[in-house]
Amino acid sequence: MPRASEIKKNSAVDYDGRVYFVKDIERSVPQGRAGGSLYRMRMYDVVTGSKIDETFKDSDMLNLADLTRRPATFSYADGEEVVFMDSEDFTQYSLNREAIADELLFISEDTQGLMVVLVSDAPVSLALPPTVELDISETDPSIKGGSATARTKPATLSTGLVVQVPEHISTGDRIKVNVEERKFLSRA
């Protein structure tokens, strides 16, 4: 059983008899109070999608939920459902488009390293690789010699995600993006 301070984003915890996904963690250190930090966690019920905010002391013990992660690839989108196929046994998993809206910004047809997260054999969410490669669909024209300065410009990627890129990057380039920080890393 890990302490609240050891819980990471996208972990699944068993809390109040339900399984929740930790989507956001804010750490705060109260002033003038002996003791440790407080961890405010925004958690989503994996079954209903309902959101709760809970605050834990760093010493509070939490139960990790029993999760299975299966390697998968993007298959197709069908209305409100997005279908992924298991890379090993070809099982199809349908996820609600709204539930994985943030993750869809990083997924194209050829994204590698996706994992479908299962709780009791039911797909509940998507785990992304640390970096993804995406094409730039629109950005300002590149500036010759722009790599000498550290200025950036916004670029819209093929999935609709907007990231800041260096001035020497142009439309049509393929770039690597850090998923957690939503930042440009390098040309692909």
Q: Are 147 and 166 in contact (CB under 8 A)?
A: yes
| Mean pLDDT computed over 123-148 | 83
Q: Are 20 and 52 in contact (CB under 8 A)?
A: yes
Question: Residue 82's closest CA among 101, 69, 65?
Answer: 101
> How high is the pLDDT of residue 1?
79
Q: What single letter denotes the amino acid at residue 3?
A: R
In this structure, how many other beta carbons lie within 10 angstroms of the beta carbon of residue 149?
11
3-state DSSP call for residue 45? Answer: strand
Banded model confidence at residue 106, pLDDT cuts 50, 70, 90? very high
Banded model confidence at residue 29, pLDDT cuts 50, 70, 90? confident
Question: Which tokens go with 92?
Answer: 């199809």
| H-assigned helices in the chain | 101-104
Cross-strand pairs, 53: 42
> How high is the pLDDT of residue 32?
67
pLDDT above 70 covers a percentage of the chain that reads 94
What confidence tens digit (pLDDT) does each residue in 31-50 have? 766 667 889 999 988 767 78
pTM over cut 0.75:
no
> How high is the pLDDT of residue 93?
93
> How high is the pLDDT of residue 149?
66
State the Cα–Cα distance between residues 188 and 171, nearest whole angstrom.
14
